[in-house]
Amino acid sequence: MKNNGKFEIVGGNKLYGEIINQTSKNATLPIMSASLLACDIVKIIDYPNISDVHNMAKILKCLNVNMTFEDKVMVLNTKNAIYNDINCDLMKTMRSSIFLLGAMLARFKHATMSLPGGCDIGARPIDIHIDAFKKLGVKVKENNGLIDFDAKVSRAKKIKLRLPSVGATENIIQFACLLKGKTTIINAAKEPEIVDLCNFLSLIGAKIFGAGTDKITIYGVDRLHGGIYRPSGDRIVAGTIMGAVAVAGGDVTIRNAVPYQNLNFIKKLTLMGCQIDYKNDIIHISRENPLTSIKEISTGYYPDFPTDLQSIMLAVSCYASSDTQIVENVFERRFLTVKELIKMGAKIDCISDKEIVVKPSKLRGNKVKALDLRGGAGLVVAGLGAKGKTIVNNARFVDRGYDHLEEMLSNLGANIKRT
């Protein structure tokens, strides 16, 4: 992985060419954790070479999982995995470490974890996870910032989630795979990454029905086996590249893009004047004329507009012909990027913590800093259309989810480099 640094972007270049989209970060991480259930060898094809994946690998190695990385294939041998308390500093490197909870409880019947870290985009409490495990008979105790889970006595049950939490849904699914009886999740998350996880688990012997709907049923089995799996394309990275073309102009083909996962985003960009065609796993996007605007963008749970692409659309909206209202309904600190865009000349009115109005702006290059993963990518996208040089510091945030974003964009003709 690259060390922390900064991106230098000189705006004005249009983007042309073809790119192969990386596999999904948000699918790969829970699949890595679910490999613990196999007690066997699991191979993940074309894993994304990002810091979150490597941090998850470090955590799994703490559990005595043998791992190798070669020719874009990750090999996880979980036969000799043993229980260990996970280093708190490792847990705090990323939010996705919470995915290990369900797998550890299924495999070891016990887990002690600190609260997971990640980007500072607002409260992401794990109370939904804890409540669900308690309903399944798991005993939970909190002690000095650590949470202890004991699953020696647990039972399958119907559970209704207060919110369609992706993490809680994935945790329950993993735990229930080896839990005797029938577990049903009501108000389950429907994100494509849930489907990916369930497809992987089904491949290695799990019995799961309803993935991609708000009702998922899991029938526990005695054991799971190994397997080979390739996660689907990363819908957020594909959306970021589309946003880059919307800002910079040009003509780009994105392969391994899974268009149906991004229909809401595609619709918004089309309304703004981008020409977008898609077929199978290919998206073709071009933009010649100036961007028009859409009145409102409101984020929500899948299939609504994804919160992970809100920062990208925020950057795009700065180049639109009239005002755009953006409402954030998932995370209350998703607008951290606003003050950085204002340094570049963006005209943005903050109505509340959840609502802003973006006015037509003429952005100019400046020194800004990434404050979270998607916000950092949004600043890079904004810099592609700005006059002069934009320097985006804290590249490490972007590296959590993008496999060398600067190389992707440079290969399409952007004037961008990492320093």
pLDDT tens digits along 130-180: 999 999 999 999 887 788 999 999 999 999 999 999 999 999 999 999 999
Distance CA 405, CA 218 (A): 37
- The string of pLDDT tens digits covering residues 58-86 is 999 999 999 999 889 999 999 999 998 87
Predicted local confidence at residue 95, as pLDDT: 60
What topology is assigned to 25-229 in CATH?
Answer: UDP-n-acetylglucosamine1-carboxyvinyl-transferase; Chain (3.65.10)
- pTM comes to 0.94
Model confidence at 188: pLDDT above 70: yes
Q: How would you classify the pairing of strands 367-369 and 389-393?
A: parallel
Predicted local confidence at residue 131, as pLDDT: 94
CATH 3.65.10.10 domain locations along the chain: 6-22+233-418, 25-229
Model confidence at 97: pLDDT above 90: no
Model confidence at 323: pLDDT above 50: yes
Predicted local confidence at residue 115, as pLDDT: 65
**Average pLDDT taken over every residue of the chain:** 93
Q: How confident is the model at residue 122 (pLDDT cuts 50, 70, 90)?
A: very low
Q: How confident is the model at residue 221 (pLDDT cuts 50, 70, 90)?
A: very high
- Of 39, 88, 119, 318, which is the active-site residue? 119
Tell me if 261 sits within 8 A of 191, measured CB to CB: no
Model confidence at 1: pLDDT above 50: no
CATH class of 6-22+233-418: alpha beta
Model confidence at 124: pLDDT above 60: no
Mean pLDDT over 84-89 rounds to 74
Tokens matching residue 339: 């003050």
Predicted local confidence at residue 86, as pLDDT: 74
Distance CA 24, CA 214 (A): 22
Model confidence at 93: pLDDT above 80: no
Model confidence at 359: pLDDT above 50: yes
**119 catalytic per annotation:** yes
Least confident of 53-62, 258-267, 275-284: 53-62
Model confidence at 121: pLDDT above 60: no
Mean pLDDT over 388-395 rounds to 98
Mean pLDDT over 83-97 rounds to 70
